[in-house]
Amino acid sequence: MTDDANPWSVPIVVAQIPDTGMHRDIDTGPGERSALADLGGLREIKSADASFDLTLMREGRVHVTGRVKARIGQTCVVTLDAIENDIDEAIDLIFAPPEQIPALADLVDEAAESDAEIPDPPEPILNGVIDLGRVATDALFLGVDPYPRKPGAVFEPPSIPDDPEDHPFAALKVLKPDANSPNSRKSTDK
């Protein structure tokens, strides 16, 4: 089941993950790709798939690793031509029951105060479920270039006119009253 905010939904019930772990490959259909493109402000998504490995950890946590790959259609910010880009994003997340999140987030904050490498805070397991489609969607959107350029496209700033009178407001100068003209108003000091 999908919705507008989460068009690529692949729920995995944590209680059904075997002790040996689980591998899962997921793919998108045309409807999901169209909805994802709309959600991400993309011209189109030609393909999107992901591969995951889920490993059970202690205290009900789950380690999720994998990759999301996609081919997306965008518009060049310089030429406005249609272009295509490939996305290949690695995924490495820890999911934990919601009641563990505050304590684990405190550990992340403590690591931030030291010189140690700062781990990402865990994601919550919601209602005993991890949505791999949502994980893949987030990774896909993180991989999107917000300013895509066609190869070789270079932005050329507008040239500065050589003539100081050749600018957009030069025509307005004729409307300005001349201080020496008899029709111009002069202020008087009293």
Residue 123: which pLDDT band, with cuts at 50, 70 and 90? very high
Asked if the model's pLDDT at residue 184 lies above 60, the reply is: no
Query: Beta-carbon neighbour count of residue 34 at 10 Å?
Result: 14
**Nearest CA among 71, 73, 68, 72 for reference residue 139:** 68
Q: Tokens 């407001």 belong to which residue?
A: 169
- Tokens of residue 64, six digits: 């999720």
**pLDDT-above-70 percentage for the chain:** 74
Residue 116: which pLDDT band, with cuts at 50, 70 and 90? low
Cα torsion angle, 139, 142, 148, 150, sign: negative
Q: What is the mean pLDDT of the chain?
A: 84
**Nearest CA among 106, 8, 124 for reference residue 64:** 124
Residue 26: which pLDDT band, with cuts at 50, 70 and 90? very high
Strands 82-96 vs 123-124: parallel, antiparallel or unpaired: parallel
Asked if the model's pLDDT at residue 11 lies above 70, the reply is: yes
3-state secondary structure of 138: helix
The residue-averaged pLDDT of 6-22 equals: 95
List, in sequence order, every beta strand (DSSP E) within 57-124.
62-75, 82-96, 123-124
Any idea what the Cα angle at residue 25 is, between residues 64 and 6, rounded to 5°?
75
pLDDT at 68: 98
Q: How is the chain split into domains, by residue range?
A: 11-142
- Tokens of residue 167, six digits: 């600018």
Structure confidence by residue, pLDDT tens digits, 155-174: 777 666 566 666 667 667 77
Tell me the backbone φ, ψ of residue 58, rounded to 5 degrees: -70, 160
Q: Is the pTM of this model over 0.75?
A: no
d(CA 46, CA 72): 6
d(CA 54, CA 133): 14
Question: Residues 14, 126: contact at Cβ < 8 Å?
Answer: no
